[in-house]
A and B are shown apart, each in its own frame.
Chain A
Amino acid sequence: MKKYHLVRRPVQSIRRLLVYYLIGIVISLGIGALLLASLGINPFEYYGRMLTIGMVGNKYAYKNIEGFLKVLVPLLITSLALGLSFKMRFWNIGGEGEFLIGAISAAIVAFNVTGLPRPVTILLMCVAAMLSSGLMGMAVAFFKVKFNTNETLVTLMLNYIMLYVITYLGKTKEDWNFFLDPKSARPIFGKFPETAIMDGIKIGNFNLLWSVVIAAALVALIYVYLKYTKHGYEIAVIGDSASTAKYAGMKVGRIIMRTMFISSALIGLAAGLTASASGTISETITNNVGWTGVVVAWLGKLSTPAIAITSVLIAILQFGCKTAATKYPSIDSNFADLLQGIILFSVLTADFAATFTIKKKEDAKNA
């Protein structure tokens, strides 16, 4: 009996990757179309609504762009930040926790600092968010460097710790709890004062939030940082081989801690911006970017421009699936999630198939 095994393809071609992606997407959309048709929904109409993020026939189409951008910004920044640590082969899957501690810190500033002009308040919120997230990320890196702890486990557990911290804050009606709306008998997160809520550039009715501008600038910054600076080079070398880096005289521990600080601080920034744009916090403020960001970073092959494009596509998928489902009473948002899952799964399979190939054992030996 011949045995088969997986071999990495010797040549990675972008064209093959794109063709495989396309095939994967077409297959998944086909499966989705069958499901939709079986529920009595015209798949073309549904997909049309999905891919245009529900803007067709919408009285306030610009609102959908605003909403879409609010989904995109945190995902984009978080994916880039995670990509930064992954590049170093530091498996930071604590995006959720880093996001949450950032959001909580931003909220502490928002609820307690009053009387300052809006840009100053928001700047303070972002700084608080970045520091808290950054320090948490750096602490994980410190334990990794010092005691060789498993960063995957530590960051994973921190996600749940932070989730329960924010849940506790949101459900505990006590006098000290300034996070809650004092006027409500039931515990509910309060609204930030006006000066802590982000505004934007008005283009007609459309409101382009400053966070979008900041996110766009960050893409360029991170690209330059990774590609053209000494830091970026150090990260790449450590990712290839920590021993090589050590041999080359790099202070590996310090670089890992520094990069984790930057990576987590960026996620904190995403959280600060999101909290400020929402005007409040909640247990679901992350919108799962800590998890989705991992997928985006990998689909983008840890390349900054590719991560940016991928996060736009994933955000369209997320936002579009939800809005498309609104119109049809026979399907709920669980169906939207299902469809999203099918598409993501196919793309990941396509990615796998484009990277690896199946070979017979004998062939491999001969080769």
Chain B
Amino acid sequence: MRKLVSLVLTAAFAVSSCLSLAGCSSKPAETTAATTKAGETAQESKGTDAAPATGSIKVGAIYINSQNDTAGYTFAHHKGITEGMKQLGLDPSKDLYIVDNVPEDDEKVKQAIDQLAGDGCNIIFGISFGYINAMEEKAAEYPDIIFSHATGYKSNDKNFNNYFGRIYQARYLSGIAAGYKSLALKNDNIGYVSAWGVEYAETCSGINAFAMGARAVNPNAKIHVYEISTWGDQEKERQAAQVLIDTYKCCVIGQHCDSAQPQIVANEKGVFGCGYNSDMTKEAPKAHLTAAVWNWSAYYATAMKAAMTDKGSFMQSVGNYYQGLAAGLVDVSALSENCEPETAEAIKIAKDLMVSGKWDVFSGVKLFFSGKAGAVTAEQKNDALKTNKGEEKVAAGGASVGDDVIQGSMNYYVDGVTQVN
């Protein structure tokens, strides 16, 4: 569905830009056909928002992969930026400057930033971790431009922030779907194809949350993690999923890697799976349950709005941004028909708890779901957060580990997780 929307949008843009070319671009872009919806919001926001003099900003973006990707990490960010811009009445075909396929190489990132700065961008987003040092350096060089860096940990107090999201919350929810499936199939083995293991807090917190979600439904569930040691390699992703299914008899395949290959393999082999980044039901119609997804526009709209209204107070109004289900930054995709009947209710209960802030994943309180569809209940039990080696991280009943742990220093698997390679 998302792909369809993006396809239609791309086609519409192509048509509109052709039109404007044919019309010798005598009229400004606000009259182009395709942006009707965006155009409406543009007028609305012009009426309501106290926008700065011109009412618009130029947005710069530095991508690790191609802006024309149709799935994966860069795609999710690009979609978030363009959607965020439309919400604010900005026209991505005019106000968005992109340097893409930029490797994590300081020199190349700096050149990209210089180019975007020269083109007059007011806010520059860099989406890959390795851009961190170049962005820090250039933030000092261009104090008038806001630099916003995803997945990093550096910032300053004026024009440089970092942002990321509590994707582990969405992972927990997809884990619930996996847990119900394993209960129904009477198979406790759940697989997980992961780019990295405990080396990165990003991957290991995701694995842990997924495992805890699954074990909240099926306390006997075992999560087998296969690490492929790269963020994306379709062949390795395939092989990993095959090993997990054939050798470890896994009945559900979760994933933290770029492509939909693990889901496709699950589909071929007649097992089930939970995707990542986008709804992969299209790729694996018979296997896919639900995917942990990002909705980056929630952040991008916030950041760009702050840059439009009062640049000087950006670090006060937005600051270092780390939001989750509550802000709509992360979520699970629509549950497919493959899900067990209890899944939706259980996910709703857990989601409400996290949105309200009453409970979070990595705390000393665990949820246990029981009951048939229509009468699913969640029991909260005080239970220590333990690593798979038995080390206690949070005492029973204790508060959640700090955000710094989830984002940066988590380097252990929780109970029930084993890495197979």
Binding site for B on A (CB under 8 A): 37, 39-42, 54, 57-61, 63-64, 66-67, 70, 173, 181, 184-186, 188-189, 191, 274, 277-280, 282-285, 287, 322-323, 325-327, 329-330, 332-334
> CB within 8 Å of A: which residues of B?
13-14, 16-18, 20-21, 25, 66-68, 82, 92-93, 96-101, 103-108, 111, 114-120, 129-130, 132-133, 153, 199-201, 408-409
B107 touches A329 (CB 8 A): no
Interface-central residue, B82, B103, B111, by most chain A CB under 10 Å: B111
Task: List the A residue with the shortest CB-CB distance to B63.
Answer: A332
Shortest beta-carbon distance from A289 to chain B in Å = 13
Tell me whether B118 and A54 are in contact (CB under 8 A).
yes
In the complex the two chains form, what is the Cα distance from A39 to B16 in whole Å?
Answer: 11
Do A61 and B129 touch (CB < 8 A)?
no
**A287 and B96 alpha carbons, distance in the complex (Å):** 26
Looking across the interface, which residue of chain A has its beta carbon closest to that of B20? A40
The minimal Cβ–Cβ distance linking A278 to chain B, given in whole angstroms, is 4
CA gap between A304 and B115 in the complex, in Å: 32
Q: In the assembled complex, how far is the CB of residue A46 from the closest CB belonging to chain B, in whole angstroms?
A: 12
Whether B118 and A282, one on each chain, are in contact in the complex, defined by CB atoms closer than 8 angstroms, is: no
Please tell me if the beta carbons of A40 and B199 are within 8 angstroms of each other in the complex: no
The interface residues of chain A, by DSSP majority, are classed as loop
Nearest CB in chain B to that of A39: its residue: B14
Decide: B118 and A279 in contact? CB cutoff 8 A.
no
Q: Is the CB of B114 within 8 A of A186?
A: no
Residues of B within 8 A of A173 (CB): 199
- Considering only CB atoms, which chain B residue lies closest to A277 in the complex? B107
With A and B bound together, what is the CA distance between A191 and B107 in angstroms?
11
Q: Is the CB of A59 within 8 A of B107?
A: no
In the complex with contacts A40-B14, A67-B111, A280-B133, A330-B93 CB distance below 8 A? yes
Choose one: A37, A279, A323; the contact of B106 (CB below 8 Å). Answer: A279
CB–CB B408/A185 < 8 A? yes
| 7 pairs, CB–CB < 8 Å, chain A vs chain B | A37-B21, A40-B21, A185-B408, A279-B106, A285-B107, A325-B99, A333-B66
User: Which 8 pairs, one residue from A and one from B, show the smallest C-beta to C-beta distance?
Assistant: A40-B17, A58-B118, A282-B105, A278-B107, A63-B114, A333-B101, A60-B118, A284-B103
The reply to whether B18 and A333 form a contact with Cβ atoms under 8 Å apart is no
Q: What 19 new A-B contacts, CB under 8 Å, besides A188-B132, A189-B106, A329-B67?
A: A40-B14, A40-B17, A41-B21, A57-B119, A60-B114, A60-B117, A66-B114, A67-B115, A181-B133, A186-B129, A188-B133, A282-B105, A285-B105, A326-B115, A326-B116, A329-B93, A329-B96, A334-B66, A334-B101
Residue of B nearest to A53 (CB): B115
Q: How far is the CB of A306 from chain B (nearest CB, A)?
A: 27
Q: Which residues of A contact B130 (CB under 8 A)?
A: 188
Q: Tell whether, in the assembled complex, residue A42 and residue B21 are in contact, meaning their CB atoms are under 8 Å apart.
A: yes
- Whether A64 touches B106, Cβ cut-off 8 Å, given contacts A37-B21, A329-B92, A329-B98, is no
